[in-house]
Amino acid sequence: MVTELAIARLVAGGDGLGFADGKAVFVSGVLPGERVAVRVTTRRRDFDRAELVEVREPSPARVAPPCALHGVCGGCDWLHISPAEQRAQKAAIVREALRRTGGIERDLPPIAPGPALGCRNRAQIHRDGEGRLGYMAARSGDVVPVEHCPIVAPPLDGFFAGRLAAPAGLDRFTVFSDGNWVACEGIDDDRDLAVTVCGRPVAFSVGCFFQSNLAALGALVQVVLEGLRGEDAADLYCGVGLFGAGLAERFPRVAAVESSTLSLAFARRNIRGSGHEFHPMTVEQWIESGAARGRFDAVVVDPPRAGLAPEVSAWLCDAAPSRLVYASCNPVTLARDLARLTAGGFTLEDLRLFDFYPQTSHVEAVARLVRGGAG
């Protein structure tokens, strides 16, 4: 049965929200203000999920998707939205998450525009049963064969076009390009890669996690490091030491904590100086081990999408660094954690957003907090 919906807003995760007979209905491929026809695919007690059948009253911000696989491939869910409207909707989603989950009312500065296409420097490619390369399908575990991807840095499109060789024996592999060279997991695992961020060389390998939008990365790093000075700093979930490399120029001691031994090996190279500590463990293990004792003037955290575990938030409130910087890729868990941190004595001083993933609903945020003070 086809139902007509008025779309009220977009929510975290990228879907549109409408109401049918008072019940929430979530549907992808829509914009706020549109009237659409949908077909319910999943019914739950509190909400339904639906698929888009027809856009009957389109938003002025709707555009023709620049990819023929829109709606089929799971890589980009917002190709139907103009770049300016994408940025506006991302800010709206963060504001709503702060309000609903964190109890925080806050205006946000505009997200700086950047390249909308050809901007993804890192991608994960899959191989289907017939050996074709592509991405995971939207809302399924199938692989969608891809012949051209307008989102990745142009050299990476060579894998889909057949100009670059894929690794034998891997059904899933990561590729990276700075726009000139290309590295591929399964082929270049032992190759040292490097990019320059804020004037600093940062070394890593294709097997490490590394941010996927080099055009936006410098601005984010600058905001993370802004105003941080002192004797002792902690770089938690440090990865290859992207932030720690800058912290080492401002603090004689940096405690770097990372559970990936591969990433931490690169952090030892990127965080330069003789007084630093490197802990190959989870942040929770670092706290439990007693290595987290002592005073820190500043702490930088960059957790995965799940955000901070309760014991990490509790430690931060007890340790009471003068400054805390939280880089996040999930506005909902960020809002939850900010509520815990502000209840524990921190004040949210600044919050800025970065469009690392154009054409998707994902957004990066950097929250800067101070101990006490006025927001």
Largest CA-CA distance found in the chain, in angstroms, rounded: 68
Q: Do 132 and 109 have their domain in common? A: no
Q: What is the pLDDT tens value at each position of the chain, 375 positions in all? A: 899 999 999 999 999 999 999 999 999 999 999 999 999 999 999 999 999 999 999 999 999 999 999 999 998 999 999 999 999 999 999 999 999 999 999 999 999 999 999 999 999 999 999 999 999 998 888 999 999 999 999 999 999 999 999 999 899 999 999 999 999 999 999 999 999 999 999 999 999 999 999 999 999 999 999 999 999 999 999 999 999 999 999 999 999 999 999 999 999 999 999 999 999 999 999 999 999 998 999 999 999 999 999 999 999 999 999 999 999 999 999 999 999 999 999 999 999 999 999 999 999 999 999 997 644
Model pTM greater than 0.85? yes
| Distances from the Cα of 130 to the Cα of 141, 144, 367, angstroms | 15, 11, 45
Q: Identify whether residues 134 and 223 lie together within a single domain.
A: no
Residue range 22-80, pLDDT digits in tens? 999 999 999 999 999 999 999 999 999 999 999 999 999 999 999 999 999 998 999 99
The alpha carbon torsion through 10, 11, 17, 22 (nearest 10 deg) reads -140
Please, what is the Cα angle at 274 between 270 and 276, to 5 degrees? 70
pLDDT at 362: 95
3-state SS assignment for residue 4? strand
Q: Please tell me the total count of domains within the chain.
A: 3
pLDDT for residue 232: 97
Nearest to 124 by CA among 139, 114, 137, 134: 134
365 shares a domain with 289 = yes
Pair of tokens at residue 159 = 């894998």
Judge whether 79 lies within some domain.
no
Tokens of 166: 């894929």
Distance CA(328)–CA(315), nearest Å, equals: 18
| Last-in-domain residue among 195, 227, 258 | 195
* Domain shared by 269 and 352, yes or no: yes
Q: At what angle do helices 331-343 and 83-102 cross, to 10 degrees?
A: 40
DSSP structural state of residue 109: P
Q: Are residues 58 and 12 in the same domain?
A: yes
Range of the domain at 50: 2-62
> Residues 282, 348: one domain?
yes
The CATH number linked to 251 is: 3.40.50.150
Cα torsion 165, 267, 114, 363 to 10°: value is 100
155 domain-assigned? yes
Cα angle for residues 85, 365, 178 (degrees, 5° grid): 85
Pairing state between β 2-6 and 35-43: antiparallel
Q: How does strand 35-43 pair with strand 323-328?
A: unpaired
- Claim to verify: residue 278 and residue 178 sit in the same structural domain: no
Residues written for the chain: 375
Q: How far, in Å, CA of 46 to CA of 153, rounded?
A: 41
Q: How far apart are CA 159 and CA 299, in angstroms?
A: 40
| 110 and 191 part of one domain | no
- Which helix (H) or strand (E) segment holds residue 366: the answer is strand 364-371
Question: Are 253 and 176 in the same domain?
Answer: no
